[in-house]
Amino acid sequence: MSTHDPTADLPADLTDGLEVEHAVPVGGGDTAAAFRLETARGPLFVKTMADPPAGMMAAEVAGLRALREHAPTSLGVPEVVRWTEDGIVLEWIDEGRGRHRPDTEEECGRGLAALHRAEGTAFGGLDPELPGRIGSFEVDLSPTQDWAAFLLDRRIRPLLRAAVAAGRIAPRAADLLEELAPRSEELAGPEEPPTLVHGDLWAGNRLVDAGGRNWLIDPSAYWGHREVDIAMMLLFGGFGEDCLAAYDAEHPLAPGWQERVPWYQLPPLLVHAVRFGGGYGDATLRALLRLRG
């Protein structure tokens, strides 16, 4: 009787020596295949991609390691066990399935506030040797001291051009952005030092384990402005009021941050508009109109 090798469909260089006994498919996002590996030393998580963009896995590994280095012990970041250009193996997190402790949201806010106290010397990528990306979009992450220009010229403008070219948003949006461009410094907020940001902090990239501990996964980390993460947390929901209240108590946001949220939400909205269409183009247009006043 023949038996199927549970790791036969996984790259050998990711599983060799891990003593894998069984592999079970799990959710891995829009473009990746993911599995829970049962091994002699306990469960592991593996994510693979077919022909990923060059440097994509290396960038994720760099982000995970940077977050793990700077996050407080209360805020978990999975350990990288092994990685290649095609995949990554991480420690397994047993999710709590909604069984949060009473202080889970507050602890998330305090932990993120502590993480955001990690400062860099310039805005930009974690490693100059790695390509810059937002998902599959190439972006310029070379070091700069000008955050407002970084946000406008390296994020918002290129993504808006791509969305218009793809027919995902009305060309009028480009005119609205140019009306707002002279206010880019005001819209980016008061100057702050470069901060280590997760870069894609929607609720799906925050896990809560069976003990109520918060974990950060799937980062697009770089040295940016902390309002990047705050705006993303508010875009799709999933973070409780206690989380943001605890954050602001621990590491107060600059006055007027609520009014800046639509500006900081433009990059993720535009990425979603190009990738998925639907109502994301309209949501981007509404954000631009709101900012224009």
Query: Is residue 81 within 8 Å of residue 91, measured between CB atoms?
Result: yes
Spatial distance between the Cα atoms of 288 and 179, rounded to a whole number of angstroms: 10
Spatial distance between the Cα atoms of 284 and 200, rounded to a whole number of angstroms: 17
The C-alpha R_g of the chain, in whole angstroms, comes to 20
Q: Which structure tokens are listed for 111?
A: 């932990």
Q: Where are the alpha helices (DSSP H) in the chain?
A: 12-15, 56-70, 104-115, 147-151, 157-165, 172-180, 184-188, 227-235, 241-250, 257-276, 280-292
Spatial distance between the Cα atoms of 263 and 244, rounded to a whole number of angstroms: 19
- To the query of whether residue 200 is one of the catalytic residues in this protein, the response is yes
Helix, strand or coil, per DSSP, at residue 55 = coil
Residue 279 has, within 13 A of its CA and on its CB side, a CA count of 3
Bridge-partner residues for 90, per DSSP? 45, 80
Catalytic residue, candidates 200, 242, 248, 282: 200
| Sequence-distant (≥ 6) Cβ neighbours of residue 50 within 8 angstroms | 33, 86
Helix, strand or coil, per DSSP, at residue 84 = strand
Spatial distance between the Cα atoms of 106 and 120, rounded to a whole number of angstroms: 26
Catalytic residues: 200
